[in-house]
Copies of this chain bind each other. A is one copy, B any other.
Amino acid sequence: MRVTVAGIDVRDIRFPTSRELHGSDAMNPDPDYSAAYVVLRTEAGEGHGFCFTIGRGNEVCAAAIHAHAPLIVGREIDLDDLGEFSRRLTGDSQLRWLGPEKGASHMAVAALVNAAFDLAATVAGKPLWKLLSDYSPEQIVDLVDWRYLTDALTPAEALDLLKSRAAGRADREAQLLATGYPAYTTTPGWLGYTDDKLVRLAREAVADGFTQIKLKVGADLDADLRRMALARDAVGPDIRIAVDANQRWDVEQAIEWVERLAPYDPWWIEEPTSPDDILGHAAIRRAVAPVKVATGEHTHNRVMFKQLLQAGAVDMVQLDACRVGGVTENVAILLLAARFGVPVCPHAGGVGLCELVQHLSMFDYVAVSGSVENRVIEYVDHLHEHFADPVRIVDGHYVAPTAPGMSARMLPESLAAYSYPDGAAWRTGAADGFAPGDEVAR
C-alpha cells in the first residue's frame, strides 16, 4: 500500500528526570530523558516515532529529522517495502557525510523509519511484532540494507535461516501470548540511589517475579563492592545480577575491576569501555570469562555489530530501538546475532525505549532466533504513563502488546506539557529555579 506524506511534525520533548537522579550512572550523572519526536502525516493516518537523548542536544536530533524532510514530504512511501524508505534516508549522498550511518543524523533516521513502521502496523491493524512475524522470509530479507554485511551473512543465508525457523512460528506466537517475554529490571541499581533504596528495590524486584536485576558500577570501586555485596545478599544466589559500567574504563582497568567484583557472581559486564572498541571488548571478554560481556546501546550501526560478532567480543547483543537506523537496521542486527548464535537482550529504559524494543524481541522470538534462552529485555519503570499504549509487565515478563502500531505514541497532553522549552513542565521548573541537568547535588 502506497501513501503520500503530506507533512512531518517534529517536537523537542524533554522530561526533567535529573531532579530525582533517575537514570544516574558513571558517565551520565544527571540525564533529562528526552525524545526528538516526529509524526508522519498521510492520507492513511499518522505514524509516530522518536529518537531518545538525555537532554542537551535533543534539538540537534530534531534538526536532523527536519533535514530529511525533502526526501519524504510530498513523496510516496510503500508501506509494504519499507526497506526502500529506509535506504532512501540513509542513501542521500549529502546527508550521508554527517555519518555515515552514525550520530545525530542516524538517530534521526531511526525516528523516521520507526514512524513509518508505526504507520504500517497501524494501517495493518496489528502490533508491529505481529506484522513483522507475519512477513514472508523474503519480505524480511528485503528490509535489510545488505551493503557491508555479506562477508558475515548473505541474503541467501539469511533466507535459509528464516525458512528454517518457519515451522515453529505458530507455537512460539501462542507461547508468547500466553507467558510474555522475559524482562530484567534496572530500577534498583542507579548510582544516585542510597544503599537502603538499592536493597529495598532489589527485594521488590525479586518479589515482583524478576530473575535478573542490574546495578550501575564504575565510579568508585569500594562503593561498587559494597553495593554488589548488599544486592547479592538481598536477592540471594539464584537471581542474576548484571553490572553496567557505561563506558567508564580503559581495557586493563575493566579487566581489573571486573575481577574484583567476580566474587559476587556478576552475570554480565555491560559497556566496560568505549562502545567503538571492538578489539577492546574482545580482549575484556577473553579475560573476564565466565562473566559475560554485553554491549550495544551505543553501537551505532550494523557494521559495528557485525564486527562485535565476528571478533567474538560479546556474549549478548544489546540493540537499541533508535540508536541505529530503526526497525530495518535492527532486523539486520537480529539476523546477524542469530547467524552467530548470540542472544539479543535489548537496551531499554529512557523514555519509550521499552515500548519500542519489546516488538523487536518478540519478532526475534517468533521468526528469527526462535528462542528466549538467556534473552531478556531491559525494563525500567519510568515515564510509561506518557504513552497511549504503555508496556505491561506481569511476573517479570513483558506482556505481548495487541494494539496496532509500534506503541510509539505519546499522549497529546504529555507532548504539550513536556515540550521544551515552552511546555508547562519546563515553565514551572524555570520558576522554581530549575534548569536542565544542573540543579541536583550529586
Q: Which residues of B contact A55 (CB under 8 A)?
A: 94, 97
Copies of this protein chain in the complex: 2
Most chain B beta carbons < 10 A, residue from A67, A102, A104: A104
Contact present for A303 and B276 (CB under 8 Å): yes
Among B103, B147, B150, which residue has its beta carbon within 8 angstroms of that of A98? B103
Q: Which residues of B contact A56 (CB under 8 A)?
A: 67, 70, 92, 94-95
> Chain A binding site: helix, strand, loop or mixed by DSSP?
loop
Contact present for A277 and B148 (CB under 8 Å): yes
Q: Which residues of B contact A166 (CB under 8 A)?
A: none
Q: Which residues of B contact A104 (CB under 8 A)?
A: 60, 64, 98, 103-105
Verify if A107 is at the interface (C-beta below 8 Å from B).
yes
Verify if A209 is at the interface (C-beta below 8 Å from B).
no
Contact of A28 with B97 at beta-carbon distance under 8 Å, contacts A59-B63, A151-B250, A151-B252 already known: yes
Q: Cα distance A310–B150 when bound, in Å? A: 24
Verify if A48 is at the interface (C-beta below 8 Å from B).
no
Verify if A106 is at the interface (C-beta below 8 Å from B).
yes
Verify if A300 is at the interface (C-beta below 8 Å from B).
yes
Among B105, B107, B273, which residue has its beta carbon within 8 angstroms of that of A57? B105
Contact present for B307 and A277 (CB under 8 Å): yes
Verify if A393 is at the interface (C-beta below 8 Å from B).
no
Query: How many chain A residues touch the partner (CB < 8 A)?
Result: 63
Verify if A54 is at the interface (C-beta below 8 Å from B).
yes
Contact of A105 with B32 at beta-carbon distance under 8 Å, contacts A252-B150, A303-B277 already known: no
Q: Which residues of B contact A53 (CB under 8 A)?
A: 94, 97-98
Q: Which residues of B contact A247 (CB under 8 A)?
A: 100
Known: A31-B97, A151-B280. 19 other contacts (CB 8 A): A29-B93, A31-B93, A31-B94, A54-B97, A56-B94, A57-B105, A59-B63, A60-B105, A93-B437, A98-B104, A102-B103, A103-B103, A148-B276, A148-B280, A150-B251, A151-B250, A274-B303, A279-B311, A280-B303
Give me 24 A-to-B residue pairs in the complex whose CB atoms sit less than 8 angstroms apart, sorted by A's number: A28-B93, A29-B93, A30-B93, A55-B97, A56-B67, A56-B92, A56-B94, A59-B63, A60-B60, A60-B63, A61-B98, A94-B437, A98-B103, A101-B276, A102-B276, A103-B103, A103-B105, A103-B106, A104-B104, A148-B250, A148-B273, A150-B251, A151-B250, A151-B251
